[in-house]
Copies of this chain bind each other. A is one copy, B any other.
Amino acid sequence: MITVLRLGHRLGRDDRISTHCGLVARALGADSIIYTGEKDDKMIESVKDVTERFGGKFSVGYEESFKKVIRNYKKRHFSVVHLTVYGLPIQKKIKKIRSSKKVLVIIGGEKVPPAVYHLADYNISVSSQPHSEVASLAVFLHDYFRGKELEKKFNKAKIRILPAERGKKVIEKR
């Protein structure tokens, strides 16, 4: 069971990146995402809307306090993994992390409060080069699930995309 915690959303500026975080969480096998920062109903709706249309169970929420979220998940015996360029290499730690069946994955916004590094059970980097929280989340989920997330079924979909060599094959239920 995986929940993603996306820190410090900013209205306008983070709109698309935060949406991508939500969609990647859903598509690559997480069960839910929680946003902190500025409350952005429109962005949250856009992620919910994809679940509504493309199926599966995925919940999207907002919380004011990241500390409260982390504490709640710790009480429920989730391992807390903070993805950060400053952390230990994922390739050295993923086996250990995989042994936790419940994981809270934290991804940062621009400035991550120092408390996050201390509250996390693991600070983990996907390369020690600066790049993208969207990419780090994707690689983390892909490694955690060993690629099996790509076979995940999404129930009650109104729209299904079927693999095609060229062009687009889409089935829509009306």
Contacts and interface: CB of A to CB of B under 8 A. Distances in A.
A28 interface: yes
Interface stretch (A34-42, A69-77, A128-136): A128-136
A43 interface: no
A167 B86 contact: yes
A131 B165 contact: no
Interface in A70-97: 85-91
Contact of A86 (B50, B126, B169): B169
A54 B86 contact: no
A11 interface: no
A137 B139 CA distance: 10
A27 B86 contact: no
Interface in A115-144: 117-118, 123, 125-132, 134-139, 142-143
Interface of A: 13, 16-17, 20, 23-24, 26-28, 50, 54, 85-91, 114, 117-118, 123, 125-132, 134-139, 142-143, 147, 149-152, 154, 160-170
